[in-house]
A and B are shown apart, each in its own frame.
Chain A
Amino acid sequence: MPLDPAYAGKTYPPAPPYLVGREKIREFAVAIGADDPVYLDPEAARAAGHPDVIAPPTFAIVLCQWGIETLIGDPGLGLDFDRVVHGEQRFRYVRPLHAGERVTRTTTIEEITFRVGNHFLNTRTDMVADDGELVVTAWLMFVVRGE
Chain B
Amino acid sequence: MMDLPARTFRITRTDLVRYAGASGDYNPIHWSDRIARSVGLPGVIAHGMYTMALVARAVTGWVGDPAAIIEYRVRFTRPVVVPDTDEGTELVVTGVVKSTTEEGARVLDLTATCQGEKVLAQARATVRA
Contact = CB atoms under 8 A, between A and B. Distances in A.
A130 interface: no
B66 A39 contact: yes
Which has the most chain A C-beta neighbours within 10 Å: B9, B25, B122?
B25
Contacts of A85: 76
Contacts of A65: 24-25
Interface string A21-34: 00000011011111
A124 B4 CA distance: 30
A114 interface: no
Contacts of A36: 60, 66
A56 B23 contact: no
Contact of A58 (B52, B75, B76): B52
B17 to A, nearest CB: 9
Question: Could you tell me the dominant secondary structure of chain A's interface residues?
Answer: mixed
Contact of B70 (A32, A58, A93): A93
A57 B54 contact: no
Contacts of B19: 31-32
Interface string A69-86: 000000000000010011
Contact of A88 (B25, B60, B75): B75
A91 to B, nearest CB: 5
B50 A54 contact: no
User: In the complex, which range does the number of interface residues on chain B fall in?
Assistant: 20 to 34
Contacts, number: 93
Contacts of B54: 32-33
B82 to A, nearest CB: 15
Interface in B27-58: 39, 48-50, 52-54, 56-57
Given A30-B22, A39-B66, A90 B56 contact: no
B69 A93 contact: yes
B73 A90 contact: yes
A46 interface: no
Contact of B73 (A50, A62, A89, A96): A89
Interface of B: 9, 15, 18-19, 21-25, 39, 48-50, 52-54, 56-57, 60, 66-67, 69-76, 122
